[in-house]
Amino acid sequence: MTAGSSLEHVVARASGLMLAGRTVDGVLRLLTSTAVQAVPSAYGAGITLVGDDGVSATTAGTDRLVENADGLQYELAEGPCLTAWLTRRVVRVDDAAAETRWPRWASAVVGLGLHAVLSAPVVAGDTAFGAIKLYSRDAGAFTDHDETTLGLFAAQTALLVAGARSSRQAGRLGGDVQALLARRDALQQAIGLLMGRDRVTEQAALGHLASVAERERLSVHDIASRALTEHARRVVVRP
């Protein structure tokens, strides 16, 4: 499954499951399982959620090995997933055997047979809820494109978690969730615009937006919003 079709699949399924009243955990499991399909070099995936008390817990881990690898981070209080949450930046480990930032965790995770990790923060507005991560048995498994792809899944995760927490606290969507919905809609509109204008597939349209984002060091959502703004300006000035 390609990144483009995976994202569309997740958005549609997640929305349907939430409307059907399914549990948050069920939708999170959909996100992690589909993220593994979208990044073929990944062995497994999981989501770390941090509560108001600062306690971390793994949910939606694709298997026990992922849960064990995450458990090492919580036990040792160090690792790429916790760092992604704290710094709100994507963190990539190309080879845990040569990793020096978190030596105790690196040594332990290599003992589990895992060598590469990619973690993206789950952030909505001013709130960092945790991180979503991918593990691989192979060193050097993940690419810049994989970072962009995981970032899309992180945004969808943030939308779900923020929505669930806002619903519990206020019975309605908060401003952070509304902003995430707007960003998601802008991405889908930009993809549709490129498909119609350039006569390309959804995968090619998303790939173009992702490549521009990587080149200009911006988020895919920023590039999508810019494409829509530029298109609107051209429509306005057209005689």
Identify whether residues 218 and 114 lie together within a single domain: no
Identify whether residues 16 and 47 lie together within a single domain: yes
Of the candidates 189, 229, 182, 218, the one whose C-alpha atom is nearest the C-alpha of residue 206 is 189
Which residues form the domain of 197?
179-237
Identify whether residues 136 and 184 lie together within a single domain: no
* C-beta separation of 162 from 154 below 8 A: no
Identify whether residues 92 and 21 lie together within a single domain: yes
Per-residue pLDDT of the chain (239 residues; tens, 9 = 90+): 455 455 555 555 554 444 344 567 777 888 898 889 889 999 999 998 887 655 567 778 999 999 999 999 888 888 999 999 989 999 999 999 999 999 999 999 999 999 999 999 999 888 889 999 999 999 999 999 899 889 888 988 888 887 776 655 433 434 444 555 566 667 778 888 888 888 888 767 777 877 787 677 776 777 888 888 887 777 655 55
Of the candidates 131, 136, 108, the one whose C-alpha atom is nearest the C-alpha of residue 42 is 136
Q: What pTM value is reported for the model?
A: 0.68
Identify whether residues 90 and 195 lie together within a single domain: no
Q: What is the CATH number of the domain that holds 28?
A: 3.30.450.40
Identify whether residues 163 and 217 lie together within a single domain: no
Identify whether residues 166 and 225 lie together within a single domain: no
Identify whether residues 104 and 150 lie together within a single domain: yes
Residue 179 confidence (pLDDT): 56
Identify whether residues 101 and 201 lie together within a single domain: no
Identify whether residues 54 and 80 lie together within a single domain: yes
- Domains: count for the chain: 2
Planar angle of CA 117, 151, 175, nearest 5 degrees: 135
Residue 18 confidence (pLDDT): 46
Residue 81 confidence (pLDDT): 93
**Which of 172, 199, 224 represents a domain boundary (last residue)?**
172
Please classify residue 102 by burial: count the beta carbons closer than 10 Å to its beta carbon, then call 0-12 exposed, 13-18 middle and 19+ buried: buried
**Which of 153, 172, 191 represents a domain boundary (last residue)?**
172
Identify whether residues 27 and 93 lie together within a single domain: yes
Residue 6 confidence (pLDDT): 52
The Cα 131–Cα 80 span in angstroms is 9
* C-beta separation of 10 from 45 below 8 A: no
Contacts of 171 (CB under 8 A, 6+ apart): none
**Which of 172, 207, 229 represents a domain boundary (last residue)?**
172
Q: What is the CATH number of the domain that holds 228?
A: 1.10.10.10
The answer to whether the Cα torsion of 217, 7, 201, 149 is positive or negative is positive
Angle between helices 24-38 and 3-19 (to 10 degrees): 170
Identify whether residues 51 and 85 lie together within a single domain: yes
Residue 172 confidence (pLDDT): 40
